[in-house]
A and B are shown apart, each in its own frame.
Chain A
Amino acid sequence: MSAVIEEHHHDDHHHGPDKGIMRWVLTTNHKDIGTLYLWFSFAMFLFGGVLALGIRAELFQPGMQIVHPEFFNQLTTMHGLIMVFGAVMPAFVGLANWLIPMMIGAPDMALPRMNNYSFWILPFAFGMLASTFFMDGGAPNFGWTFYAPLSTDYAPPSVTFFILAVHMMGISSIMGSINVIVTILNMRAPGMTLMQMPLFVWTWLITAYLLIAVMPVLAGVVTMMLMDIHFGTSFFNAAGGGDPVLFQHVFWFFGHPEVYIMILPAFGVVSAIIPTFARKRLFGYDSMVYASASIAFLSFIVWAHHMFTVGIPIAGELYFMYATMLIAVPTGVKVFNWVATMWQGSMTFETPMLFAIAFVILFTIGGFSGLMLAITPVDFQYHDTYFVVAHFHYVLVPGSVFSIMAAVYYWLPKWTGNMYDETLGKTHFWLSFIGVNVTFFPQHFIGLAGMPRRIPDYALQFADWNMVSSCGAFLFGFSQLLFLFIVIKCIRGGEKATDQVWEGAHGLEWTVPSPAPYHTFSTPPTDLKEAHG
């Protein structure tokens, strides 16, 4: 490395992108970095999805057919980890990178070099995580919630690399979130108040705050594991005065806010799309903001609803039940606001809108099952069954993942300058919609009927619906290749998009040309009338 480590030009802003691979490795541009995040996330989605298809293939019929129980546990664990940390979270960070500066009229993210760092840690982290499949003893096999002592004293040696990979993801997330918060707080176009920001920006502000608050706690808990494994500490060992349940408390203090980290930006996306295609302003902007903030606040004080069966004293059980139920109120406000936005609008149903509407309905179904899980005495029956699996896939797949797809369709013309193929888009939507429901709806039934989760083989009475679920999974999975095709096709050409793209779209990002120039808002916009979506 020479002392002059980077070429540095005073007229930076007039540069377009570099050519070749180095553009992507060295870039500090928020749009490039957003693109990197999105592609990385899609790759991880396919990877995690292939693992899920492995699970579903094994569960197609009772009996062990394809994998061994030991490997099945690795599939489940890595599927959960990759989807959560590799697919959904980076996708939202990618959207944040692309959109936040454009929505608030900023020239870029606040700390561009650190932005690049946040991204490039990820391929290393996931490379390390994926490499555990090839290690002696195999990949992590203790569930994505890695409860001690299965993940400490009884874990394969690869757990050490899992822990360190989690550290790297944590560092990446924390730096990414610092960047988002600082950008939002410090880089808004002059004159834009907080209460004028588009909701996507608001929800990301809150999400970033959640991330900075809980990722260090995750780092803390994996550090405790590392010490228990290698240095003889006894955090999670009763013989030394510790408690395995301590692990769960610390983990879920991170883990519950984590699930809202995966849904709040989705709320933001949907709050942008529905008004556009209803051609009507978002109903109840203020209450949307307060509801998001309340959800975030509540998310810190409900963690033990994942632990109703671990033997918490009754006062604790009751408290966590009540607190959890409360989350239905602000979430309900959001749902009602979306419905009220659609009411008496002038709606059209392009692909992003279809995904957004499906989001509202299917997320709400997932929310209802969440509420059922929150009722402590009944959770004793639901806990660790496929009912829980059905719940969280409803909020995560037709929830978070659908919102990401909606966002991609919605902003793709702005990113590429071309319209995507609407017919194919709609086909993709309907295949996904059907696939998702066929996959996950029956899981409610098998869960209620008593099938535990994380098992490679099951009793005969669960056979029928498992078969349906597996068929749905393959339908849904392979439909995503169509999505890939549509995106690539759109990048390579298509009908030219206008600046505004959608008739009803409002917001600063729609005031710049399509495709958005490499640098937007090098000088801030003065006309903020458009800012408020």
Chain B
Amino acid sequence: MSTQDAYEEYYVPHNSKLPIFASLGIFLTLYGMGNMFNEMTAGVDSSFGEIVFLLGGLVMGTTLFFWFAQVIKENHEKLYSDQMNRSFVWGMSWFIFSEVMFFAAFFGALFYIRVFVVDWIGGVGDRGPSDMLWPEYEPHWPMLNTPDPELFPGAKEVISPWGLPLVNTILLVTSSFTITVAHHGLNEGNRKKLITWLGATIALGIVFLFVQGYEYYHAYSDLGLTLASGIFGTTFFMLTGFHGAHVTLGTFMLIIMFFRALKGHFSKEDCFGFEASAWYWHFVDVVWLGLFVFVYVLGS
């Protein structure tokens, strides 16, 4: 238990212009996005939504840039005590927990559909009488024959896990190793090792995204597997899509860390930014393993 003398001053900035700009930024981004979507769905030809959206993105991006710059600067000025760093660690951990719960919602939806709904519509179980509405439908997963093929045409075929998805799994698992090696490099004070392996991780992340992009292209153009092709396509693209978005974010974080490492930031004692990105990367990796098992392997 620390005593009074061991106490270090906890830095409380006097005030800050950053949050209000960030609030404005997020508001404009989402308000623009809402208009964009509504214009799209209503078939209205207007670029109001897009303009607001881009403006919001600009405000948000700029603010975040200055925000991080500010934090890095304060860190260099040694304003942050150990206690402050612990706050960052806790903060990041709970943020990742919230992300886990976000994915849990979509995984939960997938399980519920697979385990219950497919059968119910097909006439099994307590809600079995439902099949009187869908006489043509045969319960089967992956659901290629939707209950109403006129509205939701179903896919011709789904993606086999043992091709590109397996490659992607290997890429991501490897990247979890490379980032750990980079971390070791950091801890040993071996900057070259840090930069090399961090670079490798980023490269793996980018390749992953390209493979994923190609896979989507293939699904849309060859397999008829789309967001609108029924519940299989829905869960498939939503889960893998959100994962992809997180990989993109994680890669950005790593790229920032890469440049910071090049500039000579980080030491064994002072590497929270790097560690946070690394945890995030591991989290993204774990989610992928879940996807690989539940969406790809058990889904085909």
Contact = CB atoms under 8 A, between A and B. Distances in A.
Indicate whether A and B are direct neighbours in the complex (CB within 8 Å).
Answer: yes
Interface of A: 1, 3, 5-9, 12-13, 15, 18, 22-23, 25-29, 106-108, 110-114, 116-117, 120-121, 123-125, 128, 157, 160-161, 163-164, 167-168, 171, 174, 177-179, 181-182, 185-187, 190-191, 212-217, 219-221, 223-224, 226-227, 229-235, 237-243, 246, 249-250, 253, 311-314, 519, 522-524, 526
B234 interface: yes
A182 B87 contact: yes
Contacts of A246: 109, 112-113, 117
A220 B234 contact: no
A209 B34 CA distance: 30
A16 B147 CA distance: 66
A227 B238 contact: yes
Contacts of B106: 220, 224
Interface in B122-157: 125-127, 130, 133-134, 143, 146-148, 151-152
Contacts of B22: 117
Nearest to B94: A178
A18 B106 CA distance: 46
A214 B3 contact: no
A111 B87 CA distance: 7
A212 B94 contact: yes
Contacts of A123: 23
13 contacts: A3-B66, A3-B69, A26-B15, A108-B10, A117-B22, A160-B37, A185-B90, A190-B6, A216-B105, A220-B104, A229-B37, A241-B152, A313-B125
Contacts of A231: 227-228
Main secondary structure of the interface of B (DSSP, over half): helix
Given A5-B18, A108-B12, A241-B146, A190 B23 contact: no
B253 interface: no
A239 B23 contact: no
B230 to A, nearest CB: 4
Interface stretch (B38-46, B191-199, B286-294): B38-46
A240 B235 CA distance: 11
A227 B226 CA distance: 13
B148 A253 contact: no
B108 A224 contact: no
A121 B70 contact: no
Given A25-B20, A241-B143, A121 B26 contact: yes
B160 interface: no
Contact of B17 (A6, A9, A107, A313): A6
B207 interface: no
Contacts of B62: 1
B87 A187 contact: yes
A128 B16 contact: no
B42 A242 contact: no
A112 B113 CA distance: 42
B interface bracket (residues with beta carbon within 8 Å of A): 35 or more
A28 B27 contact: no
A182 B87 CA distance: 6
Nearest to B59: A1
A177 B95 CA distance: 10
Interface-central residue, A185, A239, A249, A312, by most chain B CB under 10 Å: A239
A242 B91 contact: no
B15 A6 contact: yes
B43 to A, nearest CB: 12
B66 A235 contact: no
B216 interface: no
A118 to B, nearest CB: 8
Given A111-B87, A240-B146, A241-B118, 6 more contacts: A117-B18, A214-B101, A217-B101, A233-B238, A234-B231, A242-B234
Contact of B105 (A9, A125, A250, A519): A250
A117 B37 contact: no
Contacts of A311: 126-127
Among B14, B63, B74, B97, which residue has the most Cβ atoms of chain A within 10 A? Answer: B14
A18 B125 CA distance: 66
Contacts of A187: 10, 83, 87
Given A8-B13, A249-B112, A219 B102 contact: yes
Given A241-B232, A313-B126, A28 B147 contact: no
B231 A241 contact: yes
Contact of A7 (B14, B67, B152): B14
Contacts of A237: 151-152
A53 to B, nearest CB: 29
B243 to A, nearest CB: 13
Nearest to A240: B152
B188 to A, nearest CB: 29
B105 A221 contact: yes
A149 B230 CA distance: 16
Given A157-B42, A240-B230, A235 B109 contact: yes
Nearest to B97: A212
Contacts of A221: 105
B98 A215 contact: yes
A246 B113 CA distance: 8
